[in-house]
Amino acid sequence: MNASEGVAPAIESILAAADERGGGDRRLSVAARSLPAALAAAEEDGRVPVIGEIKPTSPTTDGRRDDDPVALAEALVDGGAAALSVLTEPDHFGGSPDALRQVRETVSVPVLRKDFIRREEQLDVVEADAVLLIAQFVDDLAGLVTAARERGFQPLVEVHSRAELDDALSAGAGIVGINNRDLARLDVDLSTFEELAPHAPEDVTLVAESGIASEEDAARMRRAGADGLLVGSALMAGDVAANTERLVGAER
Ligand SMILES: O=P(O)(O)OC[C@@H](O)[C@@H](O)c1c[nH]c2ccccc12
């Protein structure tokens, strides 16, 4: 399979860079904070379960947010985020493994590592509670899901189509992220989540990813069955704690 077939030039460049990056030289063993439990606890508490993403920049963002990642993490948690996501991709998203390390040392909520992981040893770069695996970009999804679990990580498998959702489920994913962004065209359509969510079994933790900007968007994804919302850009623009508080307080 040629994983980069039919994807936007920015993504091709992201994948080429990902293939160049090495991995860790020893196998990590992490004691993970449970992401599903953190999302459920927020819900119990009457909060919209938001995974707040620290994303300094991206190929679809204008400008950059170069604040201290720890300060951003604290603002997200103060605003009520149930969990955090930290970009570790350096070349296109301005992230770093070190930012994740510092954030995870500071906060007590679960932290997701957001990167383009292609090979097993790339899991060994930095400890996190959950790791993103993008179905479209991984050749042996079941193998990487197992490799992630062997290290103690909770794999969050990202999908964008029915076929990828089925692949994620057959690979044994317990947490599935449905990305509303089409990586081939780079546009966002919230109906992606609405169309795919009904095909996931009840016991899978479902995360709606990308393009959630308003309280209405948050409510819409919750009505469609999202157990968690992964939000980056809309939180990063302006006052991070206030932005988070607004989405966390959205009604259904
Ligand atoms: O900034 P947004 O539209 O709220 O999106 C967050 C997140 O879903 C997005 O950053 C993302 C989804 N899948 C990814 C894979 C790699 C890098 C980034 C992503």
Q: What is the pLDDT of residue 2?
A: 47
For ligand 1, atom 10, the nearest C-alpha belongs to 232
pLDDT tens across 27-62, in order? Answer: 999 999 999 999 999 999 999 999 999 988 888 887
For ligand 1, atom 11, the nearest C-alpha belongs to 210
- Mean pLDDT over 55-83 rounds to 91
Confidence of residue 6 (pLDDT cuts 50, 70, 90): low
Per-residue tokens: 98: 């070190």
Q: What is the CATH number of the domain that holds 79?
A: 3.20.20.70
Lowest mean pLDDT among 66-70, 168-172, 200-204: 66-70
Q: Is 27 within a domain? A: no
Q: Is the pLDDT of residue 156 over 80?
A: yes
Number of domains in the chain: 1
pTM (two decimals): 0.95
Q: Is 71 within a domain? A: yes
Q: Is 115 within a domain? A: yes
CA atoms of 50 and 67, how far apart (whole Å): 21
Q: Is 216 within a domain? A: yes
ipTM of the complex: 0.97
Among all residues, which ones are annotated catalytic? 53, 55, 114, 158, 179, 209-210
Q: Is 171 within a domain? A: yes
Q: Which element (helix H / strand E) includes 154? A: strand 154-159
Give yes or no for residue 217 CB within 6 A of ligand 1. Answer: no
CA atoms of 3 and 15, how far apart (whole Å): 9
Q: Domain range holding 126?
A: 9-21+32-248
For ligand 1, atom 8, the nearest C-alpha belongs to 210
Q: Is 91 within a domain? A: yes
| Residue 89 Cα: closest atom of ligand 1 | 17
Cα(210) to ligand 1 centroid in Å equals 5
Q: What is the pLDDT of residue 10?
A: 86
Helix, strand, coil % over all residues of the chain, rounded to 5: 40, 15, 40
Q: Is 3 within a domain? A: no
